[in-house]
C-alpha cells in the first residue's frame, strides 16, 4: 500500500467517526489504573531528564494530552484528523493541538523531551514503522523519553465500521512487543520496560517505555 493511501484512509475514517469516538472515550482513563500509572511514569521520566516539550502523537480528542498537562508536562497534541483536532481544541481550549502526521512531524532535531504514542501505530503498515521511529528519534533529544501503547498480537484486519456504526476503511495491526522493541533498538532507542495489559484476554495491549540513546 502506498504511503499516501493509508494516510488518506486513516484521516478520512477518523474525520468520519471523530464525534462518536470522542464521546466513547471521554472519561475512559478513569477506570484504567495501569494506564494512568503509565502516564504518571512517563511524566516523571520526562521531568527527570530535564523536562521540556512533549508530543502526544495521535492525540485524538485530547483527553490524554490534558492528563499529561495535569501531570505538569508542557504538551502539544498532534493528529492526522482535522476533525479530531477541532474537537480537542474545543474540549481543551487551554492546550495546543495541531494537524500533523507522525510520518512528517515538523519538529527541529532534538526539540522534544518526549513522545507519547498511544494506539497511534495501529494503522501504520509494517513497512512504514521504521520510518516513523526514525521521525521520533530525530525529534526527541538524546536521553528523552518515548512511550508506546499498541495492540499486542500477530494478526491484522480491515476495519470497515466503528465508533457509532460509522464507516471506516483502515487496517488494524497487532504486533508482538519484542518485535517493536527490536525496531526501536534499530532506530536508536533503548527499551527499558515492557508491560502487557490483559494478557489472557481478547484484546491485550502492550506498553513500551524507551529512552533515546545519545
Residue 3 pLDDT more than 90?
no
CATH of residue 14's domain is 3.40.50.150
107 domain-assigned? yes
Beta bridge partners of 55: 76, 115
pTM, rounded to two decimals: 0.96
Beta bridge partners of 97: 77
pLDDT bucket at 136, cuts 50 / 70 / 90:
very high
**107-118 pLDDT, tens per residue?**
999 999 999 999
What proportion of the chain, given as a percentage, has pLDDT over 90? 95
Residue 195 pLDDT more than 80?
yes
Cα–Cα distance between 171 and 168 in angstroms, integer?
Answer: 9
112 domain-assigned? yes
30 domain-assigned? no
- For the chain, the DSSP string reads --HHHHHHHHHHHHHHHHHHHHHHHTTGGGG-HHHHHHHHHHHHHHHHTT--EEEEET-TTSHHHHHHHHTT-EEEEEES-HHHHHHHHHH-TTSEEEE--GGG----TT-EEEEEEES-STTS-GGGHHHHHHHHHHHEEEEEEEEEEEEBSS-EEEEEEETTTEEEEEEEE-B-HHHHHHHHHHTTEEEEEEEEESTTSSS-EEEEEEEE--
208 domain-assigned? yes
Q: What is the mean pLDDT of residues 20-31?
A: 92
Residue whose cell numbers read 508542557: 74
pLDDT value of residue 164: 87
176 domain-assigned? yes
**Which structural domain range is residue 18 located in?**
3-25+35-212
Contact at 8 Å (CB) between 158 and 134? Answer: no
pLDDT value of residue 2: 55
Q: Average pLDDT, whole number, for the chain?
A: 96
183 domain-assigned? yes
**35-61 pLDDT, tens per residue?**
999 999 999 999 999 999 999 999 999
Q: What separation, in Å, do the N-terminal and C-terminal C-alpha atoms of the chain show?
A: 34
Number of domains in the chain: 1
Query: Angle 50-56-60 (CA atoms, 0-180°, nearest 5)?
Result: 160
**174-189 pLDDT, tens per residue?**
999 999 999 999 999 9
* Residue 162, CA distances (Å) to 11, 125, 158 in order: 14, 20, 11
- Tell how far CA 116 is from the center of its chain: 5
pLDDT bucket at 14, cuts 50 / 70 / 90:
very high
Sign of the CA dihedral 170, 14, 19, 72?
positive
132 domain-assigned? yes
Amino acid at each position: 500500500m502506498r504511503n499516501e493511501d493509508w494516510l488518506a484512509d486513516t484521516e478520512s475514517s477518523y474525520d468520519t467517526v471523530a464525534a462518536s469516538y470522542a464521546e466513547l472515550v471521554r472519561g475512559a482513563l478513569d477506570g484504567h489504573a495501569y494506564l494512568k500509572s503509565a502516564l504518571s511514569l512517563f511524566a516523571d521520566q520526562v521531568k527527570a531528564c530535564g523536562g521540556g516539550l512533549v508530543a502526544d502523537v495521535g492525540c485524538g480528542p485530547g483527553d490524554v494530552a490534558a492528563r499529561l498537562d495535569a501531570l505538569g508536562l508542557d504538551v502539544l497534541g498532534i493528529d492526522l484528523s482535522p476533525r479530531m483536532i477541532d474537537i480537542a481544541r474545543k474540549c481543551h481550549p487551554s492546550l495546543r493541538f495541531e494537524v500533523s502526521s507522525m510520518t512528517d512531524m515538523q519538529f527541529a532535531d532534538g526539540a522534544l523531551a518526549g513522545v507519547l504514542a498511544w494506539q497511534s501505530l495501529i494503522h501504520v503498515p509494517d513497512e512504514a514503522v521504521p520510518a516513523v521511529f526514525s521521525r521520533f528519534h530525530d525529534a526527541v533529544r538524546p536521553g528523552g523519553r518515548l512511550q508506546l501503547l499498541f495492540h499486542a498480537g500477530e494478526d491484522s484486519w480491515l476495519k470497515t465500521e466503528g465508533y457509532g456504526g460509522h464507516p471506516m476503511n483502515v487496517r488494524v495491526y497487532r504486533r508482538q512487543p519484542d518485535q517493536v522493541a527490536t525496531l526501536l533498538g534499530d532506530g536508536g532507542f533503548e527499551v527499558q520496560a515492557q508491560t502487557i495489559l490483559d494478557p489472557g484476554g481478547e484484546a491485550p495491549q502492550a506498553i513500551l517505555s524507551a529512552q533515546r540513546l545519545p
